[in-house]
Amino acid sequence: MSDKDFAGKVALVTGAAGGMGRAIAVCFAEAGAKVAVSDIAAEAGQETADLIAGAGAESRFIASDVADAKSVEALVAGTVEAFGGLHCAVNGAAIELEQVRLADVEEDTFDRIIAVNLKSIFLCMKYEIRQMLTQGGGGTIVNIASTNSYRPQPHQSAYTASKYGVLGMTKNAAIDYASDGIRINAICPGAIDTPMLRAAMERRGRDPQEVAGRLSLLGRFGRSSEIAKAALWLCSDDSSFTVGHALAVDGGYLSR
């Protein structure tokens, strides 16, 4: 792909205040897209938009609670108002809160994880797809799932349930909208070096070197930029025959 493959395209990235989401937003901007940056964390989200604008690309931060239907509807409408359309969307907002076995998970914790990690995917796709259908010409959507979608980790019952759901919903939506020219795929990141992963390891008292060795054949954590490039490829014409696919970017973890 050239660095201008996305010139004239509008991309929306949720969960873009940091980590993988920020890297994805920056990557799309570097490829020539106009980028709507969204997150519930307003200050850090604005920093992402400013980072993109500082590099000479067009970006706007739009605060959104992806677990709330009206907020997501306003997010998509705000993206269209700012840039005139929507061609690519990467739905990456997620949380990971658990440290206990299933019987000890509080109901409020379960509900919050499902809302942010799974309901958000439903809501984002709902309004993204409606916009793509309205404007015609198809579009691309990438949902961020997880290697937990295939291989659960201990003490992550709700998180794992949410990520299994993301994968199922992605595949169903891909079936429903392929004939409309809307390609929908997922990425299953492995152990990616993000603030969320670092916080999870700290909460559990885990040694990062041991975790990297256990969760990757390469003996290292993945980089957010590696997820960003995978998302860019799935939204590009280079992946035009890729539909309903779950791309593992995991250092070979799922191959064992």
Q: Which residues have a catalytic role annotated?
A: 159
The token pair at 251 is 């250092």
Euclidean distance between CA atoms 10 and 28, whole angstroms = 9
Q: How far is CA 39 from CA 14, 25, 75, 103, 177, in A?
A: 6, 12, 10, 31, 26
